[in-house]
Structure 1
């Protein structure tokens, strides 16, 4: 796009001393940096917001702009009802533009540097109530082999709060049913031991019988497999859990992470032991060289046995 046609897209009411650098900046994004037309359009939209604000403040030259103006601009957008994410996007465009002005000796410092958008409210993870989880697990049809497998998947998800990727990676050798636990390989290849509740162990044992029949004279490392003897994929697990959620009439879409959130929430509500829950979930602040740094496994197992709704004997 030529500079002339680009300038036509920017309101002629703005001072040329403000508009011309914006036009050149957008031109650079399109030609030298090969930004997509959609990205350039987004930058244009954000910078026009800035131009409108500066006009209301009677600012006609870029060297007049101060950090206080950008803070006021952010607050102005917040009062208009823009989301924190939208304001952050606008500030990002402004920072890039001001860096361009600095490179071209039109500004000495970046007035948007250090100005942050309002914090977005944290969305609490969605969980399923204890009675709904119980109804779901009871409602999975185990009259067919695939239902027996899916029940073992669902029970293990809820019992141990493991991630989808962690369950997919589980091998048969990772299970220690005699000790009621499993070795989990999490993010960053970190390994931890998680307890498995009595009902989950029961479901897994039933599945292992089916798994043996499915494999017949061959073998596989994966704990959960398809009838084609392949490791069960993340997408397949998502579809199966969503299917059972609809089958039992659960409100909302059931995805694997809901089991994790529900496990953590129900365990924390019953025990109040945040450290135990952190250990169970394998959060990033755990040591990379030791599975348990602040809590030994027996303490975790004790908390689990007393508090988890489906671990009680």
Structure 2
């Protein structure tokens, strides 16, 4: 079978654009080839949908092309590149007076999904937290890791904790989350035990006026970078195969809590997420399954129902 042939009106405008890229824009051959590949693929799609002239294209046509790419399994970044090529081509047609507006300017590419860190499994967490060294910095580091994994804190939340924010009697810590929103998170077990151990040694480093729970060797509040560096070093020292980071410990907390409880709403509260969809994306679990289980089980989850039930 021969390759599909573009209608002459579509093909001629494209050829003029390629010449413009070569002679006036001075783009590299590699970039020119990329433009050609993207534009000719889209032009064929549009032609198959009945397009005869570029002046017919509106935002609806462009959305159909983007949707076709999504159905074919294209990455969000590839669709964004395709739409960028189309916008450049339409800007060229406007420059030549063949179009009055750019129909691709109002069409957004799908959002790129940030790759989530892989969580540590329960055995890896146990291996990481078997820190039995007696020096005070090792005690501090284990307390930080136990607290981050035990309470699912963000790095910024943990670093900002002051001694006065800890309430041992109620087993709670007051943290300031995103948007300066305050919440209380429960902590107990080994997290509570190791925070107590660190507090007995904190005065070895902390300046008298320092309010921070976790301090550096300089006696002031420990920095984000120092926490990241220390956790990475502990991962290596404890012979873990994967890189250890504060965010990975938070992610592990969320994943393990959901695997054990299937209580999506509770984990949402513990993580400090405003929207439950954020919790679902963050933990890469089957949201529909979990939400359905919640809606079936919770007595006040039904919007409509038998009043007598």
Question: What TM-score, normalized to structure 1?
Answer: 0.68
Tell me if 1:236 matches 2:232.
no
Aligned-residue offset at 1:149: 0.4
Deviation string, structure 1 residues 39-65 (Cα, Å, up to 9, x no partner): xx86x5653223433379599964365
Deviation string, structure 1 residues 162-192 (Cα, Å, up to 9, x no partner): 1111111112222112221111111111111
Deviation string, structure 1 residues 28-82 (Cα, Å, up to 9, x no partner): 999xxxxxx99xx86x565322343337959996436565477458746975x75
2:286 is aligned to: none
1:295 is aligned to: none
2:124 is aligned to: 132
In structure 2, the gaps of 5 or more residues are 1-9, 277-309
The 5-angstrom pairing of residues 188-227 of structure 1 reads: 188-215=179-206, 218-227=208-217
1:176 is aligned to: 167
1:166 and 1:186 in contact (8 A); partners too? yes
Report the 3-state secondary structure (helix = DSSP H, G, I; strand = E; otherwise coil) of the residue aligned with 1:193.
strand
Aligned-residue offset at 1:232: 1.1
Aligned-residue offset at 1:209: 1.6
Report the 3-state secondary structure (helix = DSSP H, G, I; strand = E; otherwise coil) of the residue aligned with 2:219.
coil
Closer, same or farther: CA 103–15 of 1 in aligned 2, 3 Å: closer
Aligned-residue offset at 1:242: 1.1
Q: Which moved more, 1:155-164 or 1:267-276?
A: 267-276
Tell me if 1:163 matches 2:159.
no
Aligned-residue CA RMSD (Å)? 3.8
The 5-angstrom pairing of residues 1-313 of structure 1 reads: 17-21=13-17, 46-53=34-41, 54=43, 62-63=54-55, 65=57, 68=61, 71-72=64-65, 75=68, 82-95=74-87, 97-98=89-90, 101-102=93-94, 105-108=97-100, 110-112=102-104, 125-138=117-130, 140-215=131-206, 218-285=208-275
Report the 3-state secondary structure (helix = DSSP H, G, I; strand = E; otherwise coil) of the residue aligned with 1:215.
coil
Aligned-residue offset at 1:103: 7.2
1 or 2 for the larger relative contact order (CA 8 Å, sep ≥6)?
1
Report the 3-state secondary structure (helix = DSSP H, G, I; strand = E; otherwise coil) of the residue aligned with 1:184.
strand
Question: What TM-score, normalized to structure 2?
Answer: 0.69
Closer, same or farther: CA 96–230 of 1 in aligned 2, 3 Å: farther
Aligned-residue offset at 1:88: 2.0
Aligned-residue offset at 1:111: 4.5
Q: Which moved more, 1:234-243 or 1:103-112?
A: 103-112
